Structure 1
Amino acid sequence: MDALVAVYGVRPWNWHTRQPPFHVLVGTILSQRTRDEKTDLAARAVLERFPDPASLAAASLETVEALVRPANFYRTKARRLREAAAILCRRYGGRVPESLEELTALPGVGRKTANCVLVYGFGKAALPVDVHVHRIANRLGLVRTRTPEETERELWEIVPDRHRLLVNELLVKHGQTLCGPRNPRCVECPVNALCSAGSGGLKDEGRAQEARRGRNGRDSL
């Protein structure tokens, strides 16, 4: 983790993860199955027009759809954003709740999204695990898990407290920059010597993935 901090820093790259809790919530809902640049484009558009839950809840669905159109599944996400904003107004006085249970009860908010709100919106220790984090944690050899939920539990046990807020940010950056799903740039990797896939170990990882595909009909990573 210290080596990754030295390379990538600790400041979030995405616009929506550098914002207040409501903005983080909106941006993270929009980010599902959407590239970062499209996410930030859609989040900026809707939040510049409707910067708080009350204004977003009162907006017409057609207007919200037009603003978030850069995001994939924009119609579904527009509906969920308005519904979530209405619940925030009705139940929480226009504030974003600070517990995992309350956040995951909102429309369009799963465990990863809720954990992102806790980390980026409130600075609370949580471990958002997306496909990048799940894949990189397994490739590095930090865990041997089959699902993001298992990865979250395992990482919580082994990551020091001082690094928990940074796990998502650093592993996502690493996965997007050097450690891609295919053809990772191991020679340039700052943690190559610590990685189970480094120094030729990637071939072993590839064989293991092929074996898993043979058993399950899909690649679990």
Structure 2
Amino acid sequence: MIRDKRPYYIKQAWYRFQNFYVRRYLAPQLSALGPHPYIIKPWYIELFGGPICIGSHVTLLGCTDKRTRLTVWSERKDIDGIRIGDHVLISPGVRISAANSIRIADSCMLASHTYITDSDWHGIYDRSLPPRTRSKVVLEENVWIGDSAIVCKGVTIGKNTIIGAGAVVTCDIPANVVAAGNPARVIRELDPAREIITRKDRYGDTEKMTKVLETAEKNCLEGNTLSGWIRSLIAPGREQP
């Protein structure tokens, strides 16, 4: 089905059901969840351990074949765990695994299949237990991690920096650059004369954005009927150009 054929009121009911699921099943597993989360298909988002803290206006996406997993596993209790800031985008298939501390600042964007970890999870010589060293990972404000990139333990990525698809980040990357490769290396600097618009800049006015999105959805779904939607589910036809 190319076009969404649900009537507007069905789409709104679907959103309410998702919000109920988040409040009933997902939020209680978190140490904190800020206001105005946009969480799609939360039943495909898996949480394990804690603490896991998520800020406001997060966009958190799950998918049937790309489960999103946030995991904290440690014998210690005095750890930061996973801390995610405001207006962060987490795409389907992202995995974040913390043994100590992973901090993701405001407006960061994580593309599908990104993997972030602060531990090797097994020692080099003693592979029966995780290593005792306590590493951390920090993504500063407005970092963009490309599809299938891996961010390893002990790494800090500077503000506004972009990590290319498939990169493996094993050491610190400075702010305002593009890095790519395995291991990731800086390949260019961002133009300091160009303005960078963050997700927080774009979506910070919640009331305004809610009205914009509601109007867009109403226009997109205008004319859809319950019978037409059911018919498209039972016997979908070819879309007319």
Q: What TM-score range do you get, normalising by the shorter chain?
A: under 0.3
TM-score by length of 2: 0.24
TM-score by length of 1: 0.26
Which structure has the higher relative contact order (CA within 8 Å, separation 6+)?
A: 1
Between Structure 1 and Structure 2, the one with more helix by share is 1
Q: Bigger radius of gyration, 1 or 2?
A: 2
Between Structure 1 and Structure 2, the one with more strand by share is 2
